[in-house]
Amino acid sequence: MGDEADLNRERLELVLEAAGLDLWENDLVSGQVTHKATKTFLELGFTEDEIVSGVQDIFGLFHPGDLDRVQQAVADHVAGITPQYRAEFRLRSKAGEWIWFANYGRIMDRSSATPGKRLIGVTFNIHDRKQKEDEIAQINHQLVEQNKLLQELNAALELLAAHDALTGLANRRALMQMGANECKRTERFDHPLSLMVVDIDLFKTVNDAWGHLAGDRMICAVAQACAARKRSGVDIVARFGGEEFVIVLPETDGVSALRVAESLRNEVAATSVPVNDEGTCLSVTVSIGVATMRKGSGLGFEELVNRADKALYRAKERGRNAVYCADVPQGSVSAVHMLVGSGEDRNGALLT
């Protein structure tokens, strides 16, 4: 029997050595280590004399951040919550480095009168695996951060692609896309869609007399006046090009659009814009063309813009600082109207 027991012990030691496992046994009742994890101490850089002398206690080598987790794993197994004791932790080497190990064990005398005197298990080195996991986690974190940055850059690029750099308004490309969608909504929900084309009068004289910086300031001032009339989430305000702007007014009929246009015309005319650092201020006026479409009109967005643009040029021909509307009643030809301005009927009357 003795020879057989020795043979089995040798076999076990060989299997444990081949698997990189270090056998240990603890008495949970007395708190004593009945079989020390010798191989683990050697891996940590301690000599056999230090191991034998018992100077080094493995429980004193645990990383402070891991000890509670190990103790909880033991407690869960003792309470029968888990079928085995499993834990991963760091141990301090003799050189002061933190090395990752793992434990796997089981109470072997649970049915005895004093269960817990024999908690047997193995310890094995998982430092390389943990380092790779940390590297992967770091790479994943970097990927997450890079993806986040990429999303932010893409959002910024989309914003730049859809907005005018000088005024911050929607640009022509975005206007045409959103405007086409509004035309579809008009056909679907049968509500009027009005559009205003706004152009700064005699703008070239501002650039010629005061320079392009002054011209840019004037453009921004008119852009702000246009944007101030925007219903959030409803209207579209865009810079169409140069000193020309387009305002799209969904669910707005021609009369209401003319009132908005006239209000804008008056505000711009009354605005004084600083055009240089010396405090010089200039005033300009705008001419506005208005067009309205309804369901069944057969108009596309580009045609609606063109009709408003033609009305704008009629305003220019009549001396500027005016509002004209090219109404397109269903089944009839376009008629051009002017909203009476300063010194005339202020009730929004339409004159043919």
Question: Kindly report the CA angle at 157 between 156 and 161, in degrees rounded to 5?
Answer: 120
Beta bridge partners of 121: 24, 105
- Told to judge if 243 belongs to the known catalytic residues of this protein, a careful annotator would answer yes
Is residue 36 within 8 Å of residue 122, measured between CB atoms?
no
Q: What share of the chain is helix, strand, coil (3-state, %, to 5)?
A: 45, 25, 30
DSSP bridge partners of 177: none
**Angstrom distance (rounded) from CA 69 to CA 8:** 34
Among the listed residues 43, 182, 243, 244, the single catalytic one is 243
Residue 22 near residue 125, CB atoms below 8 Å:
no
Rounded Cα distance, 187 and 211, in Å: 45
- Closest among 197, 206, 217 to 287, alpha carbons compared: 197
Distance, in Å, from the CA atom of 228 to the CA atom of 247, rounded to the nearest integer, reads 11
Q: How far is residue 106 from each of residues 70, 117, 295, measured CA to CA in Å?
A: 14, 11, 79
Please, where are the H alpha helices in 163-272? 172-189, 203-210, 212-227, 254-269
Task: Round to whole Å and give the CA distance between 307 and 330.
Answer: 15
Rounded to a whole number of angstroms, the distance between the first and last alpha carbons of the chain is 122
Provide the 10 A C-beta neighbour count for residue 124: 17
Query: What is the rounded radius of gyration, in angstroms, for the C-alpha atoms of the chain?
Result: 41
Q: How far apart are CA 132 and CA 261, in angstroms?
A: 66
58 and 33 Cβ atoms separated by less than 8 Å: yes
Only one residue has tokens 């009168």, namely 113
CA atoms within 13 A on the CB side of 100: 11
Q: Which residues are catalytic?
A: 243
